[in-house]
Amino acid sequence: AGLINIAIDGPAGAGKSTVARKVAEQLRYVYIDTGAMYRAVTFGALRAGIEPGDSEQVGSLAASLDIRLLPSENGQKVVLGGEDVTEQIRSREINLRVSRVAAIEQVRTRLVSMQRELAGRKGVVMDGRDIGTHVLPDAELKVFLTASVRIRAERRYRETGQADRVDLEQLEREIEQRDRLDSEREISPLICAEDAVVIDSTSLTIEQVVSQIVELSRTKK
Ligand code: C5P
């Protein structure tokens, strides 16, 4: 009883997934990382040798892919055609291509309908770029989580594996580029919903952000 939906949007590396996962844990809600779905399509395209800019081919691939989000110990597992791709979709190769795939209309239509279905029974914490503005416009609580690009790059730098290591300045440029593509695309760009609560996490800890959101959720029930 009293279940609500919580939308968490914001730019790359603002800590959305860590925060969303912890909020879901505390409220015993279901955590849904929508970025992972766009990453899975990008991974599928790469593997099939399709250029991320080829809207037609990527679009029809997206329609045919079997993408599943399953709860796991550390939040969420991503299964593509029966294969666990949770780790592989986090690579730099994917980071550099995902925004182009996510700008394709057919890709978004398919994934958004999956996302709405997943949120249908309420009690979800969903993170992404267009959750509060487009996927769940009626979500009871909307949070727009940001932080300075420098701090986002620093956080990402610390969690990046050796194989994908680039210097901090380069990482910062790549994050800015992804934000720009996500904010300037035609379909459901990254923007702050009018009714979202803005939280700037630049000088906050993860725990502080989590408790702010849990507090806010209690006022919405
Ligand atoms: O959240 P994450 O960084 O994993 O998202 C990867 C990419 O997926 C984003 O840069 C964006 O291009 C796309 N995305 C989106 N809409 C969402 C979630 C992610 O377009 N709701």
Tokens 């050796």 sit on residue = 162
User: 107 and 41 in contact (C-beta within 8 Å)?
Assistant: yes
Question: Pocket of ligand 1, candidates 93, 105, 114, 129: which has the most ligand atoms within 8 Å of its Cβ, to mutate?
Answer: 129
Task: Output the tens digit of pLDDT for each of the chain's 221 residues.
Answer: 589 999 999 999 999 999 999 999 999 999 999 999 999 999 999 999 999 999 999 999 999 999 999 988 878 999 999 999 999 999 999 999 999 999 999 999 999 999 999 999 899 999 999 999 999 999 999 999 999 999 999 998 988 777 678 899 999 999 999 999 999 999 999 999 999 999 999 999 999 999 999 999 999 97
Those residues whose C-beta lies under 8 Å from the C-beta of residue 17, and which sit 6 or more positions away, are 33, 35, 75, 127
The CA distance from 62 to 45, in Å, is: 8
Atom 5 in ligand 1: residue holding the nearest Cα: 35
Tokens 């593997």 sit on residue = 47
Any residues with Cβ below 6 Å from ligand 1, and which?
12, 34-35, 38-39, 98-99, 102, 128-131, 178, 182
- The amino acid occupying position 70 is L
Atom 7 in ligand 1: residue holding the nearest Cα: 35
Q: What is the ipTM of this complex?
A: 0.99
Atom of ligand 1 nearest to the CA of 33: 1
